Structure 1
């Protein structure tokens, strides 16, 4: 018997859920008696309605059947209503009044600008107008229940992207939207564009217009709205054109300096051909002339060093060349070919100085040059930047476990990931053995932390394979913003300090935490 009662309880709860009924004592009692009757189980509490009904007048029993009374409370409510009812006419008036009220409510719903609610309200009005049977009205009632249960107004949250909008009142919501859309955001837009314009005007190669740039930078910061004036727009166009012309002239000047060096080498070689008796002394003159050349830009220092090496090679080789130079034109041709090869090697060597051979990111020397450049832009034009140290966790363990070749594969892959996900204006280099430094110009601290965490997550999820074996790799990151520190060196130290804290806190994380 206990098992049967438990089954009735379980089936009753499932039926309540299936019919979307509220779990109240009355609903539960009614469903429980219904399920018990289906299973042929006689429950005394469920027989009380039938017990009392048999004692009533047959006319009252007939009237009861129209109301589908299922429990004692409903029977008492019916009898109280029967006793309190003065006459049938009052009840009919009440029904008509409620029907009219229902119509007015439904008509009001059709005006609320909701397609589904309007359609359902019109269908309900049709049922009331044509005096449909109870089954038809019950069907509409269930549809209203489904509408209320499934109604979803989350689409209104899309309005939050435009600003605060009151969603409880349609008229107020429309008024809020009109106010937001009519708002003039040009000033905020200009404030956003100003740092970008200043960065685009910053010195690249030539430095002959720094005062003009400083002047217009101050004007833009103090009055961002001036961007909307034709006069300032024309001045910016003029500065851009002037910057391009100065850069071209500076490049031509540097190229001319290199051409002059090569011309002097060729001239001295021709003199050697004509006077082989003094070849050794003449090569010394070439070396002396090259050493006297003074380059103003660091990017050309490597070129000077390589050309000096050419002269040293000539000094050694022309000891025996002087006796053969006049009679053997083939030797002259070989020498010219050798110069061409040395020039090609010079270009390769120049590239290697800037790019790490393994990871193909910048070398530490190139990082130092870029740090000087962004620091100069910060000091002159207040263009902020953020540094991000990224260090591979337990890298020594990887080398000890899988070998240095596996470590090189991981370093190369991490370098590839960094090159892929940085912006075009960003700069990444190898700072140490397994440590990388990313320079993020015009980037706030929160944005830099987000970037570092993105790289951390990508590395953690990346499948590092070496000889068909998966190697789990994670990185720790430390971030620091220049404007929050006193100097460039303190910015580096702060980022390195946060990296150390990330290591101490368990690795595979970014410090500081927002």
Structure 2
């Protein structure tokens, strides 16, 4: 869940270890966003001195970080942050950044993370910085590769332009040669006529005529040879142009396919193969536009796996990852093809149901909840039962992406407070005597 009030945690009489852990993770999520923003800014500035001290200096100037630092209740109660929590913080920062990256880059990021995070490492922020700098360098390499392809294409186009200019020059030269040939033939014919007029000797006339005809024949033969040579040259030029054009088309297709694949990958969650947060942000804006234009009823669901941290702690993160994949498979099977399903982050999933009112959406969510509750999940020798909690809201006039999400998120939190393994809607919030704002920071 997002934006749960810090005051709620710190003032609650039931501030147990689980709530303290959740509160710590909420802080880490905020700090993760700030760290990533600063690292990106420094990279865009091409700063070579990127280290934890510089990042910390910039973070202290940010209002959101100041609020977190002012809220010192977590440590004031005598609690400390363990090395495991620090390593989880690194994972949070790196994984948050990875959500918007293409698959190939995410896989490279995972390898970098494994290499950089040593078991004894305590300099968590510097470790994260090293990972991010290596990753940015990797992305820059891909940008350079694309620039190289574009430069090659530009070179091909320049060569084609040269060939076309050469062909135009050849055509102009041919025109001048044709005029010269025509003038030469006319000149020889004129001289034959003059021979007839100036001489009465048949032998001399015959010799003059034969000589001029021979000259005309030689000139025509030379012209024919020139045409054949030009034809071969033109044919060769066209073949070269054809090969260059084919190379350009192939290169363009490679770029198009790579761009398409990269766009698809950037919208996909690497672990579950569902859509990711970035895809959700685009989809909800599209849904709001359709709702405002066509008044199409649509609903939003937020699902959260109950006690997911306990699964990670008891069975390990690999089992936790398998759990997320299993839940994703159930969502794919149980929702309609035109329903939009995405992993929002961690163990949270969101679903947008077009042409579905609040009551129908609650029935769908209840069906999914019951199915998961009655399913036994087997991971090697471990048999695990899972439950989920869901919050449901409906798109309304004057809604934006935040308001419709906050109502569903508040309903989800109400379900968590009610004992988990349940479905709550925005109507249930009103029935509880609370408002949506009671669950969030003003």
Q: What is the TM-score normalised by the length of structure 2?
A: 0.41
Q: What is the TM-score normalised by the length of structure 1?
A: 0.35
The structure with the largest alpha-carbon Rg is 1
Which one has more relative contact order, counting CA pairs under 8 Å at least 6 apart?
2
